[in-house]
Structure 1
Amino acid sequence: MKKRKFLLLAPLALFMALVSCNNDDDALLSPIDEGVNMSYSEVLNFKKDKAKYNPGEEVNFSVNGTHQNTTVRYKYLGEVIEEAPLTGTSWTWEPPSEDFRGYMVELVKETDGEETVIGTVAVDVSSDWTKFPRYGFLSQFGNISASQRADVLNNLKDYHINGLQYYDWHFEHQRPLPLDENGEPAETWSDLFNREIYLGTVEGFIEQAQERNMASMFYNLLFGAWKKDEVQPVPVEWLMYNDRNHNDINRHILSGFGDIQLTDPANDEWQEHIFGETATVYENLEFDGWHLDQLGNRGTVYNYEGYKIDLGEAYKDFLISLENRFPNKKLVLNAVDQYEQEEILEAPVDFAYSEIWSRYQYQDLARVILENYEYSNGELNTVLAAYMNYNAQDGNFNTPAVLMTDAVIFTFGGAHLELGEHMLSSEYFPNDKLDMSMDLRNNVREYYDFHTAYQNLLRDGGSFNFPAVQSQDVDVKLNSWPPVVGQAAVVGKQLENSQVLHLLNYDGVSTLQWRDDSKIQREPLVKDNFSITAEAGRNVSKVWFASPDINGGASQELEFTQSGNQITLEVPYLKFWSMLVLEY
């Protein structure tokens, strides 16, 4: 078993109870014009060369031009740790040696004594990508050139995607990598939907991902045997049945493409077979691990001998055996709609992964992440497969819906599986029916910069709490999470030397349902320069502000006054999501 360190999340049960206390959209408010919508875009196209960096590894930066009187400012959680003048279009920086740190690097131009942020980029220094997983996907493995692969990976690198799920790259579930008569991998094969897969493309993606410090995880079911013709793919004794007399095989029907027969995950012979096939994959392709999938609640199921199968225990047994067989490879198993997640997270997986179906509201996304914290004793971070604008058939994704969903997931310490060759809108990853507008691309990049730069506040321990926060402005209404239409929700988090206050804005929105199937979600009403009073609890030494919606997520120190346990300050800006940090 992999060792785990307990992180304190003391008020979690209370927080989860409050997260689930409001299940309906409130009456919608008429929109009111207020606040100034301050759009932000990069001036110098500021980039770095890898998705993450190992301790001691240099970061290579680039910009597409220079401006006079511009400073490169390196920050850790709002504190300047180094700065230097911008003198060219490329340079290197060696971050501090500490492991598992996120940094924000700002390009700040001074004009007549006034500073303007003209570029930001985050840097993640982590020896293990699964500590702060930012998961993406690949779904096209045809005859794709090296330059085309580089374009895809460079784009994902700019979003700091540090792990990739290779979706439907394989041949058959029970035989993922086909071999020729000489025992060598086939040059091409067809997946279960008859798409042609090229070995060289899979190999090329893995190699080029390694160059960018991006991990590669191969996708496969943990209990699938694809039956596309009359030939039985595996012995019937390995299969899972809907009856005690092994007459009705439990299967997933693929109309026109055959069936996936499901095996008993705890069957020793099935495990030996699929582990042998997995060894073949690892011997021929440098995958970093296995992204395992299941198919949700299968009802009451039996093995060939007629005994009822406890799928949660079977999953755990399979994962423990798999980790023992391949101790140096990463493991993650999709908990479809949280099915058997508690048992899965008792096994040696490297992070939690939840595909969301029946949890419809923003507060439900938070609850799933909190459940996963609890099931893993506060250790594992979560990736949510949450498909946006699911029922929409064409056009662009709705930008407000995507950003509001990301804001909730990121606030509660999760990550969102949504980026690959395109943005995800369904569980079949090659489906690219919806497009990302340029505005959405730019905004999501700022959100991923923010998510990465401040990962030590967002995803590195701490306890969610409920400090009292009140607005001094009659036009700004605040409430503790969960969200209420017409107000901004406050999410508190207590860390050792700081209190974090997240403000998530739901004033002016049209729904509290995150998926936004009909693309009706509206932008919330912007608030700026409004005063709040917050419960501090201790003497505050510094307050700073940052938001992915303004200045590229750059931090800004704020003035404040403190009287006893109360602190008063002015919040510069709130569109979708803003963060305040009170340091002690």
Structure 2
Amino acid sequence: MLKIRKSKFLTILFSLILVLSIYHGNNIEKVYAASSYVNKVYMDKSRYNPGDKVTIYADLSNTSGTNFTGTLYMEIAHNEISVYTTSQSITLNNGQSVTKSFQWTAPSTDYQGYIVKVYTESGDYKTGAVDVSSNWTKFPRYGYIPDFDSNITQSNTTKQINTLSQDYNINAFQFYDWMWRHEVPIKKSDGVNPDSSWTDLFSRNISYSTIQNYIKAVHNNNGKAMAYMMSYAAREGYTDYGVNPSWGLFQDTSHQSQLNVNFNNGKYLWLFAPSNTSWQNYIGNIYKDVVNTAGFDGIQMDQMGQRDGIYDYNGKSYDLGTSFSSLINSVKRQLNSNNSLKSYLDFNIVDGTTNGWALDDVSKNADTDFNFSEIWWKSNNYNDIRNYVEQLRSNSNKKAAVLAAYMNYNENLGPKYEAENASFNGVDIAVNHSGYSGSGFLQNFAQQGDYVQFTVNVNETMNYPLVFQYGDNLDNATRTIYIDGNKVGQVQFHPQGTWDKFVYDANLNVNLTKGNHTIKISYDSGDTGAINLDSLTLGEFDEHSVRLADAAFEASGATHIELGAGKDDTVMLPHEYYPNTSKAMTGTLKAAMKQNYKFITAYENLLFDQNINYGDQGNQYININGEKISGDGTEGSIWHMTRMTKDYDILHLINLSNETDSKWRNSTSSPIVKNNLSVKYYFPTDTAISNVYLASPDFNEGTSTALKYTTGTDNIGKYVSFTVPTLDYWDMIYIKRAVNTPNNDQYEAENAIKTSVTTNTDHTGYTGTGFIDGFAEKGDEITTEINADAAGDHSLIFRYGNSTGTEATRHVYVDGSYVGILHMPNLSNWDTWSKASLNVNLAAGVHTICIYYASTDNGGVNLDNLTVK
């Protein structure tokens, strides 16, 4: 009899269990354990054209204590469908680390995302993502580059861009503040060749070779390099460079006071009329030179935000908010005619909000390649962002959207050390000025030899921002910083005009190894000025708010420009001035961001496709047993967001269970993890459901999991019921279904989702199996899904009964957006039926139609059917 040692038998049994395949129709779901041999999966490029060769790398290591010989498998899936599998034999000696590769030919279908799973029979696996798109602007994952100093070597630039491209799938980069002047970005002292370096608006050193190295590194990853440029501004002394003040914008009718931005360092940006054709031709030629000389792929156009009550040179009132599209379209034509392959263009809609300033002009009229919008205080809440993204994309035929949204803005976050608790010399503790933290602050920090020394303990080796909170009345002050006795740099402190104001805009980035360190801030011989010192913070982003905000942006249909190339590490954007690095990502946040970017790449078609339509924000779709839910991002709830495509209903669940103010920007508590959520999701009766899947950046490495489900019908309507195994920050459930188009495009009301109404058959002349009765109270609602075969204008024709003696009205919503009031005149009796209609424009595909009894509506009606023509 063959004998097998107990330990080996258990290992074999465990491996067999872990690779058990569960069949769901033609789909296969493989269940695996956490990684043991496979550590990382990544691609050689950030984006591929259809038919390209894709190289997939897997970093492997063996720390098991014994040698391993087995098989390395790879599976590639589009959403839930497996499209390719392969394997290779491997041997890993104990202690060995190797990188293995696979080759795959990208399919011919354009604009598709894929998830790649690499695993062994031992039950370990990791995933990566592939974007097959011939044009990056279809699914932009935008990063940034803020520094171009000459001490950044070519190997630095290659490493930084490889990390962002391979670990985070970034496919385009905004080169921020790389210019010499805003109207002459490339300095050419001889009039022909770029200088080797120049200084920018804020006196930073800019190396042309560093710019070139970054562009080369971006192109090597099949990414695109976008040159940041102000669209309508020139620096002081602009007439020396061929710019004419007659093109300008002015605060008065006699062109005496040109509109400007004063940086309080002797430098200005003077503003010009975007619709002025001379300015358009001038700046268009500058942009062409940027592309032709430096090799950029396009232009990121910026502006300074809302300006009202302004005039052109001739004293005519000027509407800046409707003028940008003229400039954008002129520039686009010039770039296209110069080199159509390097003519990518986007424009910043500053302070983006629903129905906001300049929104319609840019999103509806401008020939940009994707929408870009900087978010400030007019879209503060989660649902503000959702509504804005939906309007922004709807205005532009669902053009892709990128948000510049600065996390934890105006928050001093991270481990804080109070100065009064540090060791110090030559200073003393005081409490006589307001605004300090802790029990006091250190004053009289004003003489050579004064110092304050903190002892800190850090949990991981990384680059840390040292953020000093201080008071400074009048002086431009400096202090020298020492780490463990070694001089590392100098920090500047800025006058605030009062001692009763403590700010935290003085910072320096240093690398600290895990463990204890001393940080000394000293008044050395080269330092100046007097300050009060309040505290030192090791600046960090709040992981919970970042993950929830990204979930909100991405589920809404927009990506987030937030990751950049730091001098020593990947950085995250805390501020509108991109070189600001006052907060850092912890190791756990970096890991979460890698999972997030892999997820949005793999499932780009379920998140960002142009054929995605929006669902209603009401709760009539969904019930989660025992949980507070909301369709509008209410704090303390599970926020549900619905989307539809031809083949799927998509349900996003975002865990706001521990939120207290619903503001996406602010730091927050960790969500309360939800397990085994019992969900009912409602459909019109005409819908046929075939499968339910879950995918999440927080669960199972982003792989799709088929959920068991049942269907049924209750007083609300037809539903599918399933259990969500866990909700950490964000889950995406996508339900495969078919919306059957009925004969003559006539959707019976009794088959719809019903809120506080009933069905009946007690009046003659109805169609189908009955009609909606009791549609007579505020809050009553009927929701259905319809299938529009073609894009264009459609009539929504409602067949109704009304014998109340007065005209009845209802609010009508399409895909959650209000489209008008339905007027239903009084009829002779309840056995008489008539029709009332609204005209709407619909994209091809599945849409929700909601007829709602709002607070301003009146009159009871019976509703028989909806015909879509």
Instruction: Give the alignment's TM-score, normalised by structure 1.
Output: 0.88
- How far residue 374 of structure 1 moved from its aligned partner, in angstroms, is 2.4
Query: Offset at 1:228?
Result: 6.5
CA deviation vs aligned residue, 1:402-448 (integer Å, no higher than 9, x gap):
00000001101100010102100000000011010000000011011
> Counterpart of 1:334?
348
- How far off its partner does 1:154 sit? 1.1
Q: 1:274 maps to what in 2?
A: 283
Alpha-carbon deviation of 1:360?
1.1
Q: For residues 446-485 of structure 1, what are the structure 2 equivalents within 5 Å?
A: 446-460=595-609, 461-466=611-616, 468-472=621-625, 474=626, 476-479=627-630, 481-485=631-635
Q: Which residue of 1 aligns with 2:407?
A: 388
- Give the counterpart of 1:77 among 71, 76, 79: 79
| In structure 2, distance between residues paired with 1:86 and 1:509 | 47
- The match for 2:385 among 365, 382, 388 is 365
| Counterpart code for 1:362 | Y
1:141 aligned onto 2:292: no
Structure-to-structure mapping, 1:85-104, within 5 angstroms: 85-87=87-89, 89-104=100-115
Partner secondary structure for residue 310 of structure 2: coil
State the one-letter code of the partner of 1:235: N
1:310-353 Cα deviation digits (max 9, x unpaired): 22332111111111111120111101113302101211001111
Q: Choose which of 141, 158, 175 in structure 2 pairs with 1:150.
A: 158
Q: Which has the higher contact order (CA 8 A, sep 6+)?
A: 1
1:545 aligns with 2:694: yes
The structure that is strand-richer by fraction is: 2
**Preserved contact between residue 500 and residue 579 of structure 1 (Cα < 8 Å):** yes
Contact 2:253 2:316 in 1 (8 A): yes
Equivalent positions of 1:11-50 (< 5 A) are 43-50=38-45
**Residues 415-426 of structure 1 aligned to structure 2 (within 5 Å):** 415-421=559-565, 422-426=571-575
1:41–1:243 distance in 2 versus 1, CA, 3 Å: farther
1:288-367 mapped onto 2 (5 Å cutoff): 288-327=297-336, 328=340, 329-338=343-352, 339-345=357-363, 346-358=365-377, 359-367=379-387
2:58/2:118 contact within 8 Å kept: no
Alignment of 1:413-452 (within 5 A): 413-421=557-565, 422-452=571-601
Partner of 1:45, secondary structure, is strand
Q: Deviations over 1:248-294 (max 9, x none)?
A: 11001111141111011112222222222222222211111110000
Structure 2 residue 554 is the aligned partner of structure 1 residue 410 = yes
Contact kept, 8 Å, 1:545 with 1:580, in 2: the verdict is yes
The letter for the 1-side match of 2:80 is G
Quote how far apart the aligned CAs of 1:230 are.
10
For the residue of structure 2 that corresponds to 1:272, the secondary structure is helix
SS in 2 for 1:46: strand
TM-superposed deviation, 1:40: 9.1
Quick one: distance in 2 between partners of 1:226 and 1:41? 57
Query: Residues 390 and 557 of structure 2 are in contact (CA less than 8 Å); yes or no, is this contact kept in structure 1?
Result: no
Give the whole-Å Cα distance in 2 for the aligned partners of 1:231 and 1:154: 41
Please give the alpha-carbon distance, in whole angstroms, between the structure 1 residues aligned to 2:212 and 2:262.
31
1:379 aligns with 2:398: yes
2:662 to 484, 503, 512: 512
Contact 1:561 1:569 in 2 (8 A): yes
Q: Please give the residue correspondences for 1:89-238 in structure 2 after superposition, counting only pairs within 5 Å.
A: 89-111=100-122, 116=123, 118-143=125-150, 144-157=152-165, 158-227=167-236, 234-238=243-247
Distance 2:581 2:727 in 1: 32
**Structure 1 residue identity aligned to 2:587:** M
Alignment of 1:524 with 2:543, yes or no, is no
Distance 1:326 1:319 in 2: 10
Q: Is the 8 A contact 1:46 1:64 kept in 2?
A: yes
The more displaced of 569-578 and 277-286 is 277-286
**1:379 Cα deviation after fit:** 2.5
**What secondary structure does 1:420 align onto?**
strand
Greater Cα offset, 93-102 or 229-238:
229-238
Name 1:559's counterpart in structure 2: 708
Which secondary structure state, in structure 1, belongs to the residue aligned with residue 327 of structure 2?
helix
Pairwise CA distance, 1:390:
1.1
More divergent stretch after superposition (153-162 vs 230-239): 230-239
Aligned counterparts of 1:418 and 1:523: Cα–Cα separation in 2: 21
CA distance in 2, matches of 1:53, 1:496: 25
Describe the SS at the equivalent of 2:591.
Answer: helix
Paired residues of 2:71 and 2:89 also in contact (CA < 8 A): no
CA distance in 2, matches of 1:366, 1:192: 36
Q: CA deviation at 1:240?
A: 0.8
Given residue 90 of structure 1, which amino acid in structure 2 is its aligned partner?
S
Say whether residues 1:502 and 2:669 are aligned partners: no
Q: In 2, Cα distance between the equivalents of 1:507 and 1:42?
A: 36
Matched-pair identity in %: 31
Measured after TM superposition, the shift of residue 156 of structure 1 is: 1.1
Alpha-carbon offset, residue 362 of structure 1: 1.2
Taking the aligned partners of 2:688 and 2:658, their CA distance within structure 1 comes to 35
Give me the whole-angstrom Cα distance separating, in 2, the residues matched to 1:232 and 1:154: 38
Deviation sequence 1:124-173 (CA, Å, 0-9, x none): 00000001111111011111211100111012102111111110001111
Cα 1:275–1:509 change in 2 (3 A) is same
Q: Tell me, in whole angstroms, the C-alpha distance in 1 between the residues paired with 2:132 and 2:241.
A: 49
Deviation at 1:496, TM superposition (A): 0.4
CA contact (8 A) 1:193 1:257 kept: no
C-alpha displacement at 1:231, in angstroms?
Answer: 6.7
Gaps of 5+ in 2: 1-32, 62-67, 91-99, 413-466, 468-538, 566-570, 738-869
Return the alpha-carbon distance in structure 2 between the equivalents of residues 232 and 146 of structure 1.
32
SS in structure 2 at match of 1:302: strand
Shift of the alpha carbon at 1:110? Answer: 4.4
Q: Say whether the 8 Å CA contact 1:41–1:442 is kept in structure 2.
A: no
Are residues 232 and 251 of structure 1, via their aligned partners in 2, closer, same or farther at CA, if it must alter by over 3 Å? farther
Structure 1 window deviating more from structure 2 (96-105 vs 525-534): it is 525-534
* Aligned residue number for residue 735 of structure 2: 582
Aligned partner of 2:491 in structure 1 is none
CA distance in 2, matches of 1:544, 1:248: 61
Counterparts in 2 of 1:42 and 1:222: CA distance versus 1, 3 Å: farther
Native 8 Å contact 2:34 2:124 kept in 1 = no
Is the CA contact (8 Å cut-off) linking 2:375 and 2:405 kept in structure 1? yes
CA contact (8 A) 2:38 2:118 kept: no
Q: Distance in 2 between matches of 1:267 and 1:41?
A: 63
Q: Is the Cα contact below 8 Å between 1:54 and 1:126 reproduced in 2?
A: yes
The aligned counterpart of 1:18 is: none
Q: Which moved more, 1:436-445 or 1:307-316?
A: 307-316
Distance 1:484 1:248, change over 3 A: same
Structure 1 unaligned spans of 5+: 1-37
Distance 1:487 1:117, change over 3 A: farther
